[in-house]
Amino acid sequence: MLIDAWDYLWNAIYTHPFNAFTLLFAASAVSLSFYALSASRRQARASERQATANEETVRLQAQALQSQADNVRRSLDLAERSATASERSAESTRFLVEVGQRPWVSHVGVRATVQGASKGGWHITANSQFENSGKTPAFELQTSQWLEVFVSAVPYDLQILNTSTSSATLGPGSPGNILSSIIIDGADMAAVQGGLEIVCLYGIAAYRDVLEKQHRTTWCLTFDVSTSNFAYADKHNTMT
């Protein structure tokens, strides 16, 4: 059968020589088609490899950017924590300097005098001593003090307000004093002796330091009948 096909092809070329050119052209066209198909496939594979490479490049770039962003975020976090630590350290240092150098006006004691009053009562005089135990002056120092009789105990809501109209400067290590007195009649004296009432001494020292910060010291003492002296109460004794 193959021989018949070759005979047919030979007779066609021999009878019509132009058929040879047609056959050659057809063969060339088929060859070019196969070449073009092969080139297209190679180009497609190359394009696929390029696309894969591009995807990998983009992925690596994304990872690099993410890593860079993480590093920047960690750096910012470390910088923020370092700044916070530095700020806290500065605040602590400033606080220690202020505490170590500021004035401290403290109440250091009371000298009590008890004398008989008319109608069997008492005349009690209390001379409070205070001093500046700090290292810098206490400016605009104002002191106020009261002697008062209360029923049973010192009130929790005792209002200690500065009512002094004069001010002074108290240097480091310098002492000061403030005097108060009260006359208690016979009935109150008997109530105090019986424990139904108490004699209370309370006061305040308000002042400012070199940094213009305001401070205050309060004291509160009760009269001890057995010793005729004052003892510190369990409240209203503060220093700020």
Residue 222: is its pLDDT beyond 80? yes
Tell me which of 52 and 27 has the higher pLDDT.
52
Residue 188: is its pLDDT beyond 80? yes
Whether residue 222 contacts residue 150, with contact meaning beta carbons closer than 8 Å, is answered with: no
Backbone angles phi, psi at 199, to 5 degrees: -100, 125
Residue 177: is its pLDDT beyond 70? yes
C-alpha to C-alpha distance for 130 and 114, rounded to whole angstroms? 21
**pLDDT tens digits, one per residue of 65-96:** 787 778 878 877 777 787 776 677 656 556 55
**pLDDT tens digits, one per residue of 15-34:** 766 555 565 655 666 566 66
Q: What pTM was estimated for this model as a whole?
A: 0.62
C-alpha to C-alpha distance for 23 and 10, rounded to whole angstroms? 11
In the predicted model, what is the mean pLDDT of residues 27-54?
71
Res 32: pLDDT:
61
Tokens read off for 214: 């305001």
Level-2 CATH architecture, domain 105-239: Sandwich (2.60)
| DSSP secondary structure letter of residue 153 | S
